[in-house]
Amino acid sequence: MKDAAPRTIRLADYAPPAWLVADVALTFRLDPQATRVLSTIRFRPNPDSTDRTFFLHGEGLKTISATIDGRPATLREAEGGITCDVPDAPFTWEAEVEIAPAENTALEGLYMSNGIYCTQCEAEGFRRITWYPDRPDVMAPFRVRVEGDLPVLLSNGNPEASGPGWAEWDDPWRKPAYLFALVAGDLVAVRDRFTTLSGREVDLGIWVRPGDQGRCAFAMEALKASMRWDEEVYGREYDLGVFNIVAVDDFNAGAMENKGLNVFNSALVLASPETATDGTYERIEAVIAHEYFHNWTGNRITCRDWFQLCLKEGLTVFRDQQFTSAMRSEAVKRIEDAQTIRRHQFKEDQGPLAHPVRPESFVEINNFYTITVYEKGAEVIGMLRRLVGAAAYKRALDLYFDRHDGDAATIEDWLQVFEDATGRDLSQFKRWYSQAGTPRLSVEEAWEDGTYTLIFTQETPPTPGQPDKAPQVLPIAVGLLNPNGDEVVPTKVLEMTEARQSFAFEGLSARPIPSILRDFSAPVVLQREVPSAERAFLLAHDTDPFNRWDAAQALARAALMDAAGGAGDPAPDWIEGLGRALADTGLDPAFRALLLDLPGDEDIAIALAERGDVPDPDAIHSGRARIRRILAERLSPQLEAAYHEGATPGPYDPSAGPAGQRALRNRALWILTAADGGARARAQVAADENMTNVLAGLSALLSIGAGEAEAAAFHDRWKDERLVLDSWFALVAGQAPPESAVETARSLADHPAFAWKTPNRFRALMRGLAGNHAGFHRADGAGYDFLADWIVRLDPVNPSVAARTSTVFSSWKRYDAGRQERMRAALHRMLDRDDVSRDLGEMAQRMLE
């Protein structure tokens, strides 16, 4: 059902709500085909609005009855909802509607997953449950009664009363409708308790399908650690008597911070050594923390409108990053986060989907839950903290919680607390929220009479709708090293505000070697031609772990780019430097593992496009294979030693130390496998110590075109473990040889277990193939057609997942004419349909512009 022309919503058009909600009472009579939702909502005029128009959102609701102050209301259809005549004074709205959760495949609103009722209301799902002013600046306390012949009936807040077939919940904290949640069904709980700073007892529950109880312990520990950390570091205490988490198998995203009742994708809760990898454990810890931290940054203080999404997401990501650094290694976490920004956020900025951290218009808000809003939003906060310092950051945050508790706030409010706490003028800094794109920072150097000068120039390329950019505030952390490797100037944060600006360091006895953009102090592309000997010097001597790692990355990137261009041998500086660092057992194994983490094929494609070349996916792929073999041969003693050093005998422990050792072992294994015919990898799969090592072995084997028997055995062993089977789908598609990857993906799509309406399974296969760079970009376009066909098929069923998957086409302008033509055709095939969803329609349109 294509609406006329989907409407564009603009930040500039924001108007406060005409009516506010004093309180809400809901009753759910659950039924798969005909759930009845009864609502009693007390409205009052908003003193801050002169408008008295009464409007309620609603989508796909069958209205059974509607009254105002007890008298039948005459509803008139309006765009996206209804309107009707109301008194010019407070009144009570009562309605009964019918919805069909079992038919809800979009997984927004009230839907069913394996017989469990659950909800997803962010961003605009509540309007599929009942008539309501479904906007985040309308906040109210909710009372909920759930009726249904089911063992478990959950909603937000504290449990009030219950009996056979019913339960009542009371959430005293005013909240917007997007934080509403209800879960009901046959679930079992793993329970624990937490005593808050001020002595409040909180009942913790993780609710899962019967049989999954044994895989919740790690998530529970992560939850308690998060609660403690938020008290200790941010002074934030939990505010209800219960905190529940539910794991569901069908979920559009990772997890959701509903007040007192978080709903999680089961992939981000359930973990056991046999079924989950170290990466999964780390992600579970981070996402549990993220959703918990939202209780203050998102729920107690929410967003005025969806343009302010980064207010809660950027800040909450920043907080979960700080938490992970505290739980694990700060240096390693910073490198991983920088890697994510460069790999994925810079890529978004490079293409047609580039948008500011705070977008100014959208058609479908689901399309703006992006890496730019989340991760770049977090980077912007990191820069702010770097500029004002840790103590001022803390003061500003205290002021933020004090001043805005209970508010629906804006980025202006957020920056104001920093201005008030520090006396700084942040008007130029604010451009980080409104200007899209990645600044390019170039550097010139001067050396004279003991004075070393760095001259920086910043420039941000045009992005859609933003041809011209103004200079931004860049915190540039710099340190200087002596030619003998000693640090002569420790890290100093230079504050760049002009388009071109120089900074002098005086009184030096020798020309120093600069270490620029330490700790990845700003999300920019540093453009500086550096001889490989100087990079190798930084790899050996830099005291800043990020720049030390980055020196190795830059050398690796250069080697891979040259190899893609057909060049023979990589710079000896790189191989020697890498070998020395690898053998330095004084360095954290997790850090050394990152040194071995070569840029992927797509990273090389991005880098080639960045310098104006047209990437050839096949050449990149074979170049990378060649470099891998060269490393395997020339560094074989160091790699072997690292492989053995990374052994973790004894019971599995997911914490950072052993996980780092395994990372080192498995990175070494991946390279060694290029030259040993797969012997080590095969042995590792057979040894079957834990899922981390098994999957690493399997992946190394598949990447050299071996391992078919091992993959089949893995499938047979794990075919009833849905989360493990997802990994199998992703791995087999992702590691297939490029020339046959599409055929492999086709046969996976024919597999009886390919439950394509389940987002995890769909994503596993589609993301698997799309991540197989040369396989997806096969010259005849078969990869594009495969993805496009499936996206078109999913779109009427689940538009938000279909639209999100379509972003794999956003890079189309990067490639040669033939591939461009085929990708464009695929995008048109997605777009030019009578029934294209608002979600996919907006994405395909933007990508084609």
Task: Give CA–CA dist 213/211, Å, rounded.
Answer: 6
Which pair of structure tokens corresponds to residue 371? 């890496």
Please pick, among 168, 291, 689, 710, the residue that the annotation labels catalytic.
Answer: 291
Q: What is the dihedral of CA 631, 635, 641, 644, to 10 degrees?
A: 20
Name the residue with the smallest CB distance to ligand PHE.
Answer: 253
CB closer to ligand PHE, 287 vs 327: 287
CB 635 within 8 A of CB 575: yes
DSSP 328-375: S-HHHHHHHHHHHIIIIIHHHHHSTT---SS-SEES-GGGG--HIIII
CA distance 590 to 369: 30
* Strand 201-208 relative to strand 188-195, pairing: antiparallel
Q: Using CB atoms within 10 Å of the CB of residue 551, give its burial: 0 to 12 exposed, 13 to 18 middle, 19+ buried.
A: buried
**Sequence-ordered alpha helix ranges (H) in 198-275:** 217-234
- Measured from the CB of residue 255, what is the shortest distance to ligand PHE in angstroms? 6
**Toward Zn ion, which CB reaches closer, 255 or 522?**
255
Instruction: Tell me the C-alpha distance between 247 and 265, whole Å.
Output: 6
In angstroms, how far is CA 622 from the centroid of its own chain? 30
Q: How far is the CB of 254 from ligand PHE (least distance, A)?
A: 6
Whether 291 sits among the annotated catalytic residues: the reply is yes
DSSP reduced 3-state for 317: helix
Q: How far apart are CA 263 and CA 236, in angstroms?
A: 21
302 binds, among Zn ion, ligand PHE, none (CB under 5 to 8 A by kind): none
CA angle 810, 815, 819 (to 5 degrees): 90
Distances in Å between the Cα of 582 and the Cα atoms of 328, 375, 599, 664, 665 are 21, 30, 17, 9, 11
Q: Which is nearer to ligand PHE, 293 or 537 (by Cβ)?
A: 293
Collect all residues with Cβ–Cβ distance below 8 Å to 97 and sequence separation of at least 6: 36, 37, 39, 58, 61, 62, 63, 64, 130, 131
Q: How many residues does the chain have?
A: 849
265, interface contact from ligand PHE, Zn ion, none, CB < 5-8 Å by kind = none
Q: 285 is in the binding site of which of Zn ion, ligand PHE, none (Cβ under 5 to 8 A by kind)?
A: none
In the complex with ligand PHE, the residue whose CB is nearer, 238 or 643, is: 238
Which among Zn ion, ligand PHE, none contacts residue 256 (Cβ within 5 to 8 A by kind)?
Answer: ligand PHE
Partner from Zn ion, ligand PHE, none contacting 369, C-beta within 5 to 8 A by type: ligand PHE
Output 122 or 375, the one with its CB closest to ligand PHE: 122
Which lies closer to Zn ion via its Cβ, residue 262 or residue 472?
262
Q: Which does 253 bind (CB under 5 to 8 A by kind): ligand PHE, Zn ion, none?
A: ligand PHE
Could you tell which of ligand PHE, Zn ion, none binds residue 519, using a CB distance below 5 to 8 A set by kind? none
Measured from the CB of residue 310, what is the shortest distance to ligand PHE in angstroms? 11
From the list Zn ion, ligand PHE, none, pick the one residue 754 interacts with, judged by a Cβ distance below 5 to 8 Å according to partner type.
none
* Site residues for ligand PHE per CB under 6 A: 120, 122, 252-253, 255-257, 290-291, 313, 369
- Which of 19, 293 has the CB closer to ligand PHE? 293
> Closest approach of Cβ 257 to ligand PHE, in Å?
5
**Cα–Cα distance list, 358 to 362, 371, 397, 425, 760 (Å):** 11, 12, 20, 20, 28
Q: For residue 370, what are the CA distances in angstroms to 349, 355, 359, 373, 377?
A: 11, 9, 11, 5, 10
344/274 Cα distance (integer angstroms): 30
Q: Which is nearer to ligand PHE, 119 or 638 (CB)?
A: 119
Binding mask 302-331 for Zn ion (x = CB under 5 A): -----------x--x---------------
CB of 49 to ligand PHE, least distance (A): 27
Residue 740 beta carbon to Zn ion: minimum distance, rounded to whole angstroms: 39
Least gap, CB of 355 to Zn ion (angstroms)? 18
Provide, rounded to whole angstroms, the least separation between the CB of residue 207 and ligand PHE: 18
Q: Which residues bind Zn ion (CB under 5 A)?
A: 313, 316
Active site residues: 291
